[in-house]
Amino acid sequence: MVESFCYKIGIDYSMVTGHKKLLKAFVFCLIFVFVLTFVGFFYALTNSTESFILSLFISVFFTLIVFNIYRLVFSSSEGELNKYDTYKDVSFFILKRGLILILLSIAVAKSLGVLIFEKNIKYYLNNHKLSLIEDFNRTLELNRLKERQSIENEFQNKIRDDILFNKASETRTNIFFDEKEKKLIAIEEDIVFKNKIFKVKIDNTNFFITKVRLLSTEIPSSWFFTILIVSIFLLPIYMILVTPIFKDYDLNCEKISKKIILDDYEIFKKNYVALIKRVNND
């Protein structure tokens, strides 16, 4: 499996000399990163879109992006690994070529963080839901007061009109009063109904984006988890730059490349001389 994976990631396994355990650790680290990427994006997307198929395809897509980023980093570093000896050089290389990887790893860390710190987030999320319900109730209360005032004004206007046009009677007043009471009861019933609908929506909403925000703002310890995930994503690049396995691999590749160039050059010289003699004889 290690050999097959090496070729897929762009490493010529036949050029690796020794350090097999280190190579296995490198391969395991990459596979672990790909699993984290898939699980992180899949969890985020299923909670955001509630579509299994869409989440599956997009998660695979992002996993392939991460896979190809490592391929690009490795292929672009061949022949240069011996240049990165200082911490400054290594850091600059990682920041320059791994920026997208860092951003993706932060997204994965936040998604997995919501899963891991779910119990901690629940307390703050419940407070957030209560705040939304209170705001909604305040809005309903303001509307209720306006509607009640409007109904009361309508009732008073009818009474005044009856007095003005000499139509006033206890019977008509009672009719107007009953109409007013029915409208007021309807307002109260409508408020109760709207409250039930809003509560159902609150209960059925996942609030994933809100969870991510609460994770970042209310749970400081989650940032240590984020740093850990980012470090895991960058570890393979760090191993490529500083471990002896890839420096030796880079030297072996460089030797083979020079040999191929020199061999081709020798063949070219022989063919060139033979070609010149043939042209002169002709």
In tens, the pLDDT along 221-241 reads: 899 999 999 999 988 888 777
Percent of the chain with pLDDT over 70: 72
Cα separation, 282 vs 274, whole angstroms: 12
Reported pTM = 0.76
The confidence band for 34, taking pLDDT boundaries of 50, 70 and 90, is very high
Cα separation, 282 vs 280, whole angstroms: 5
Q: Do residues 215 and 118 lie in contact, with contact meaning Cβ atoms separated by under 8 Å?
A: no
Q: CA distances (Å), 121 to each of 39, 64, 115, 210, 221, in order?
A: 20, 31, 9, 10, 12
pLDDT at 154: 85
Residue 84 has pLDDT above 70, yes or no: no
DSSP single-letter state for residue 10:
T
Residue 71 has pLDDT above 90, yes or no: no
Residue 11 has pLDDT above 70, yes or no: no
Residue 258 has pLDDT above 60, yes or no: no
pLDDT at 99: 83
156 C-beta neighbours (distance < 10 Å), count:
12
Least confident of 8-22, 42-56, 129-143, 268-282: 268-282
Least confident of 21-25, 119-123, 208-212, 259-263: 259-263
Handedness of CA 48, 52, 57, 60 (dihedral sign): positive
pLDDT at 260: 59
pLDDT at 255: 60
